[in-house]
Structure 1
Amino acid sequence: MLSLLLVLVVLTQQVASTQVEDFVECEPVDTACECGADATVCIFQLYIERVFTFTKYNYSVPYSHGQGESYYINNMGQFVPFHNRGRCIEGTFTKQTGSGSSDNLYCNEVNMCLPKSKLCSEPITVDGKTYKTVIAVNKQLPGPTLIVHEGQIVAVDVHNNLSTEGITIHWHGQHQIKTNFMDGVGLVTQCPIQPGSSFRYIFKAGPSGTFWYHSEMQSQRGIGLFGAFIVKEKDPMSYPVSFRDDPAHHTLTIMDWFLEDPEPFCKRMKHGLGDEPIFTLPNENQLILPRTTGPDFIKIGINTFWSAIIHGKGRHPDVSYNQSSLNIYEVEPGQTYRFRLIHTGTMYGFRFSIDNHKLTVIATDGYLVNPLEVDYIALEGGERYDFLLEANQGGGNYWIKAETFEIDGTSGPPFKFIDHKAEAILHYSGTDVPSQQSLLTF
């Protein structure tokens, strides 16, 4: 116990003695925050709060203060405010005085300066259908991708702005050697961070690879409290071909998404309520409904698929492409890229593929493996895969798909899979970026 306390003291002293250049500029507007390779300590700030989907919030005003303006997506794929009430209030931002470009900038008390048109967050659209409260990290779902280098000391200040819920953050896959008290397993290695409180996680990054952070309290990660955590190799990878490694733009999280919050959802599963309407009271006459089944006849779950999202965006089956919002991953023809894939979901396994492209798996769960070229990657909750993608199609746009393993249950091999999936787009630079109206044509 004494040795663990000494480790904490040493790490705390190192963080306290950091230079200004070691601080990571990770503003709420940043979807990815990377620590410089030469830094000794990487310090991040994460603000946890409840927000509504399809709603814009001022970056300087917590959700608990209200002020959010709700939007919908029209048939042209544009965000439109309900009843024309959409506006981006200044909050605690003040117009910058002076000449030049600063005339158009607004700054808050922590010296975050933005154009007036950017003072508010983009709406979290998830599947284009579900209007509900979610847990956001820095007003984003998923939270920002945190990128560090192997051996660096990581200090993450987590601020719990929830009204009634305690939280912890687990650094999934990090070994936490001599820092197990920073592992973030609520009520096991750590007391929860109480509402209105903050806590600093301090640990040494290792091993290198693709990881993620998420809540370990209740089922909070199922409604948004998660994000990617990337540890770059200390020494450049020795690999037969050169490739671009840009985790800020080529990291994908996949998860199944449900209409209900995870807690009542899991309770309904336990009682076998299946597809009964939500808020249905269990009773003795309730029938146990057939479970969703995969091609190996393994039972997947009693509640049927609602929707799935890739890095916070997707499309519910009831929503047209016109009124959806999908992520776009850009590549240049002739280049090879390292993509990082993380399953952050709760129930369904997925088959991940990219149309007209082979995937070369080079790492799994943070460890390098012998390269293996595949047509698709099968992954379950918590699993991570790194793969190389050769942009060899010359141009165009291609579907990125994560499909569930569900079969229709009425036929034998070859099984017919149910069309339940999440979608994103692989976009070649130099090609027109697809609009919502054109998504059905490629």
Structure 2
Amino acid sequence: MATSLSFFPILSVLLLTLSHAAGAATIVYDFNITWVRANPDGLYERPTIGINGQWPLPIMTANINDTVVVNVINQLGNQSTTLHFHGLFQNGTAEMDGAGLVGQCGIPPGSQFTYNFTVNQAGTYWYHSHYKGQYPDGLRAPFIVSDPNYPYKGQFDEEIVLSVSDWYHQEVQVLIPQFMNKDNPTGAEPVPQSALLNDRQNLTIAVKPGKTYLFHVVNVGAFAGQYIWFEGHNMTIVEVDGVYTEKAEAEMIYLTTAQRCSFMITTKNETSTNYAFVGSMDTTLFDKIPKGLNWNVTGWLVYDSAQPMPAPALVDQFNDFDDFALIPYDQKPLLPEPDQTITMDVVMNVLGDGKQYAFISNITYVSPKVPTLYTVMTTGEDATNPTVYGEYSNSFILGHNQIIEIVINNRDTGKHPFHLHGHNFQTIARSEFNAGDFSLGNSTENSYPAIPMRRDTILVNPGGYVVFRFAADNPGVWLFHCHIEWHMDQGLIATMVEAPLEIQKSITIPQNHLDACKAGNTLYEGNAAGNTVNFLDLTGEPVPPAPLPAGFTPRGIVALVFSCISALIGMAVIAWYGSVDMGAASKVAEQQRIAEMEQQENQEVTTQATTIVEAPEEVR
């Protein structure tokens, strides 16, 4: 049975039902991706990426075991694009994962592309562009998969889909060059202008007394984690990132960008009062809070539209919830000790072009010339050699069905929400702020949770660590990256090449995918450098800028810049002094003396800041 869902407009709140057709269906979406104009915060109208001429975008829905077909036409005119179905494992269909230059070529303007996959997971997901930082321009929306065997079926009356997000007034292709710039050596990320609920502000949700509502909430933002609370109502958590959980009560939850959570809210039995609910951006992520920024967005549970909409309370009036304590409903026990442990040290540092980059174990990611999955498919037995994927794809080869443990040591001063494609994982250790690197002295096998929390996106605290495990039972090429878009632009990405010889046996790249490569003049055979003769010859592979010269630190660069500015000011004063008459000269003598003193002080700061050291200082 085929059902065509070419497009339907997203409502402020979409109410779903658990109606299921007998057997699996084929759900077809025809998506014409275009530019539209939008002004969701009422402050600034801007170009936004829409589907079929409209924005906000459609919420995708399916039932578990349905086949989903998405026919994409790119009519943006000036940009390529892709679609990634965030959180869906793509078991057996790694070529449909949608990460640009990883599992596919970008879809060039004017080209068509088809995604075709079976949904074998239920829960709360989303879809978004995964190409050159594009999705903050609007190409993102929830994707809800229903389950006839949902463990809490019958315990709620209606379902509500709710997205939270940050919003920028400028396009990403304007913001990235400003961010990745030698004039921004500290790597201060662009601060959003607004927060949104369901891609708007002042959202109202009509509710009835004495009813239970199941909320599916997705943070589709680019940068800001958000605190979420419903005043006068507790949340009963029942799912995170597509993993059903035992019920857990929370006053407030925190969702990093890309995380999802489902919870039930039971309404009161009287209708005399309406109640605010809030998404509050985590301002600790911002280097500087711009004057006038409202980092909160407010909606209301409306019992009676004739009653006033009350002002919300402050975030510090609510208790935060620790997702580490969640217990999966299926009671899946701790995986065995790992066959392979990968340790990743996260740092930020400036390279020789004066721009700040992000590093995982001394490597900043640079996209290869050939999508990594296509390198797997065209390099034969050499696909098991990480060399063919290039040094800067930061690739790790995972053995089929092995237990993999990943240790992330966050040596940066910022938070990082890391996301793994193709899997969720058991989080077995997570530190608080500034705990230092993980070591076996921090935890032991016996101290890990017997039934660990699972999700596919996890927050790593500043100066802290996270340890997680998963079974490599899904052959494919899967990115592992920070989901803050600006940090991806800086290169905070690694690549998991899982069971490459099994990939070669199990998938075939569709012709329309290869046609998109040809239309965009993207190579689709050979190693990361496009070499189809000697797969171990990486001559010509894309590389990052060279390191800073020995002895220079980011702080030294900043000091040098200010020193130069002071010197220029001093020279201007001297020139002016020479151009005035002797009577006026006495009036500027003091100014010249002050300028010379400032110049001398800044030269001293520069000398101190650029003293040669054994290794560049790691700063954010």
Does structure 2 retain, via aligned residues, the 8 Å contact 1:206–1:231?
no
TM score, norm. by length of structure 2: 0.45
Distance 1:200 1:408, change over 3 A: closer
Residue identity opposite 1:37 in structure 2 = A
Residue identity opposite 2:162 in structure 1 = L
* Secondary structure of the structure 1 residue equivalent to 2:165: strand
Distance in 2, matches of 1:407 and 1:220, equals 24
Deviation digits for residues 236-282 of structure 1 (CA, Å, limit 9, x no counterpart): 4246x711343xxx11111111122123323323337xxxxxxxxx4
Does structure 2 retain, via aligned residues, the 8 Å contact 1:137–1:226?
no
**1:46 alignment counterpart:** 31
Residue identity opposite 1:243 in structure 2 = F
Distance in 1, matches of 2:296 and 2:255, equals 14
1:397 aligns with 2:274: yes
Distance in 2, matches of 1:385 and 1:256, equals 17
Distance in 2, matches of 1:346 and 1:135, equals 15
Deviation digits for residues 313-341 of structure 1 (CA, Å, limit 9, x no counterpart): 02xxxxxxxxxxx3222221101111001
**1:381 alignment counterpart:** 257
How far is 1:234 from its partner? 3.5
Residue identity opposite 1:339 in structure 2 = F
Which of 284, 293, 296 pairs up with 1:421? 296
Does structure 2 retain, via aligned residues, the 8 Å contact 1:26–1:33?
no
Which of 170, 189, 204 pairs up with 1:260? 170
Residue identity opposite 2:97 in structure 1 = D
Percent of paired sites with the same residue? 25
Distance in 1, matches of 2:91 and 2:170, equals 37
**2:199 alignment counterpart:** 312
**2:104 alignment counterpart:** 190
Gaps of 5+ in 1: 1-18, 54-124, 273-281, 292-300, 315-325, 410-417
Distance in 1, matches of 2:170 and 2:122, equals 36
Distance 1:178 1:352, change over 3 A: same
* Secondary structure of the structure 1 residue equivalent to 2:106: coil
Distance in 1, matches of 2:268 and 2:35, equals 42
Which of 238, 241, 245 pairs up with 1:365? 241
Does structure 2 retain, via aligned residues, the 8 Å contact 1:427–1:433?
no
Does structure 1 retain, via aligned residues, the 8 Å contact 2:15–2:158?
no
Does structure 2 retain, via aligned residues, the 8 Å contact 1:45–1:157?
yes
Distance in 1, matches of 2:53 and 2:248, equals 38
Distance in 1, matches of 2:126 and 2:78, equals 25
TM alignment of 1:70-89, pairs within 5 A:
none
1:37 aligns with 2:21: yes
**1:156 alignment counterpart:** 70
Distance in 1, matches of 2:194 and 2:10, equals 26
Distance 1:33 1:23, change over 3 A: farther
Deviation digits for residues 396-416 of structure 1 (CA, Å, limit 9, x no counterpart): 42212111222699xxxxxxx
How far is 1:142 from its partner? 3.3
Distance 1:302 1:176, change over 3 A: closer
Does structure 2 retain, via aligned residues, the 8 Å contact 1:403–1:419?
no
Residue identity opposite 1:195 in structure 2 = P
Does structure 1 retain, via aligned residues, the 8 Å contact 2:3–2:25?
no
Residue identity opposite 1:401 in structure 2 = V
**1:242 alignment counterpart:** 155
* Larger helix percent: 2
How far is 1:200 from its partner? 1.7
Which of 222, 228, 243 pairs up with 1:352? 228
How far is 1:394 from its partner? 2.2
How far is 1:307 from its partner? 0.8
**2:119 alignment counterpart:** 205
Gaps of 5+ in 2: 287-292, 313-620
How far is 1:366 from its partner? 0.4
Deviation digits for residues 181-208 of structure 1 (CA, Å, limit 9, x no counterpart): 0111112111222212222211011211
How far is 1:139 from its partner? 3.4
Distance in 1, matches of 2:82 and 2:110, equals 13
Distance in 2, matches of 1:159 and 1:302, equals 32
Does structure 2 retain, via aligned residues, the 8 Å contact 1:338–1:386?
yes
Residue identity opposite 1:221 in structure 2 = Y
Does structure 1 retain, via aligned residues, the 8 Å contact 2:212–2:267?
yes
TM score, norm. by length of structure 1: 0.62
How far is 1:305 from its partner? 4.3
Distance 1:304 1:336, change over 3 A: same
Does structure 1 retain, via aligned residues, the 8 Å contact 2:107–2:113?
yes
Distance in 2, matches of 1:33 and 1:163, equals 35
Distance in 2, matches of 1:128 and 1:433, equals 24
Distance in 1, matches of 2:72 and 2:178, equals 32
Does structure 2 retain, via aligned residues, the 8 Å contact 1:361–1:371?
yes
Deviation digits for residues 193-237 of structure 1 (CA, Å, limit 9, x no counterpart): 221222221101121100000001112210110111111113242
1:269 aligns with 2:145: no
How big is the alpha-carbon RMSD for the aligned residues of Structure 1 and Structure 2? 2.7
- Residue correspondences, number: 300
> Bigger radius of gyration, 1 or 2?
2
Does structure 2 retain, via aligned residues, the 8 Å contact 1:399–1:424?
yes
Distance in 2, matches of 1:401 and 1:197, equals 40
* Secondary structure of the structure 2 residue equivalent to 1:313: coil
How far is 1:393 from its partner? 5.5
**2:4 alignment counterpart:** 24
How far is 1:304 from its partner? 3.8
Does structure 1 retain, via aligned residues, the 8 Å contact 2:7–2:31?
no
Distance in 2, matches of 1:388 and 1:258, equals 31
TM alignment of 1:61-76, pairs within 5 A:
none
Distance 1:238 1:127, change over 3 A: closer
Distance in 2, matches of 1:341 and 1:159, equals 28
Does structure 2 retain, via aligned residues, the 8 Å contact 1:360–1:372?
yes
How far is 1:147 from its partner? 1.2
Deviation digits for residues 22-43 of structure 1 (CA, Å, limit 9, x no counterpart): 2234435465698953352111
Residue identity opposite 2:45 in structure 1 = Y
